[in-house]
Amino acid sequence: MIIPILQDKAVQNYVAATVKGVTNPQDQAKNLATTHAVEGIIQDVITRGDTALYELAQRFNDALEAGEPIALSEKDWQSACDRIPEDVKASLEEAVANIRLFGEKMMQALPQDAVTYEHHGYTTGFMLRPVEKVACYVPAGRYPLVSSAMMTAITAQVAGVKELVLLCANPADEILYVAQLANVSSVFKIGGAQALAAVAYGTTQVPKMDMVVGPGNRFVVEAKRQLNGRIGIDSLAGPSEALLIVDETANLAFVASDLLGQAEHDPDARITLLTYDAQVAHALQVELESALKLLDLPAFVKDSSLKNSVILITKDLDYSIKIANQLAPEHLHLHGKAVEARQGDLTHYGTLFVGEYATIAHGDYCAGPNHTLPTSGSARFSSSLSPMTFLRVQNILSVSASNSYLNELTANLANLEILTAHAYSALLREED
Amino acid identity for residue 174 in this structure: E
Q: Say which CATH superfamily domain 5-24+239-384 falls into.
A: Nitrogenase molybdenum iron protein domain (3.40.50.1980)
Rounded distance between C-alpha atoms, residue 25 and residue 5, angstroms: 24
Edge-to-edge strands, sheet with 391-398:
115-119, 122-130, 391-398
- What is the Cα gyration radius of the chain? 25
Rounded distance between C-alpha atoms, residue 193 and residue 206, angstroms: 14
Contact between residue 267 and residue 300 where contact means Cβ atoms under 8 Å apart: yes
pTM (2 d.p.): 0.93
Nearest by Cα to 237 from 316, 174, 331: 331
User: What ranges do the domains of the chain cover?
Assistant: 5-24+239-384, 74-233, 401-427
The answer to whether the 5-24+239-384 and 74-233 domains have the same CATH topology is yes
Cβ-Cβ contacts under 8 Å for 74 (sequence gap 6 or more) = none
Residue 387's CB is within 10 A of a number of other CB atoms, namely 24
Residue 201's CB is within 10 A of a number of other CB atoms, namely 16
Max CA-CA distance within the chain? 88
Per-residue pLDDT of the chain (432 residues; tens, 9 = 90+): 899 999 999 999 999 999 988 777 777 888 899 999 999 999 999 999 999 999 999 999 888 999 999 999 999 999 999 999 999 999 999 999 999 999 999 999 999 999 999 999 999 999 999 999 999 999 987 677 999 999 999 999 999 999 999 999 999 999 999 999 999 999 999 999 999 999 999 999 999 999 999 999 999 999 999 999 999 999 998 889 999 999 999 999 999 999 999 999 889 899 999 999 999 999 999 999 999 999 999 999 999 999 999 999 999 999 999 999 999 999 999 999 999 999 999 999 999 999 999 999 999 999 999 999 999 999 999 999 999 999 999 999 999 999 999 999 999 999 999 999 999 999 999 875
Active site residues: 330-331
Question: How many helices (H) and strands (E) in the chain?
Answer: 18, 14
Nearest by Cα to 255 from 353, 125, 133: 353
Length reported for the chain? 432
Architecture of domain 74-233: 3-Layer(aba) Sandwich (3.40)
Rounded distance between C-alpha atoms, residue 274 and residue 335, angstroms: 10
Per the rule left: phi > 0, alpha: psi between -120 and 50, beta: everything else, 327 is alpha
Q: What are the residue ranges of helices labelled H in 49-73?
A: 50-59
Contact between residue 199 and residue 207 where contact means Cβ atoms under 8 Å apart: yes
Phi and psi (nearest 5°) for 221? Answer: -65, -40
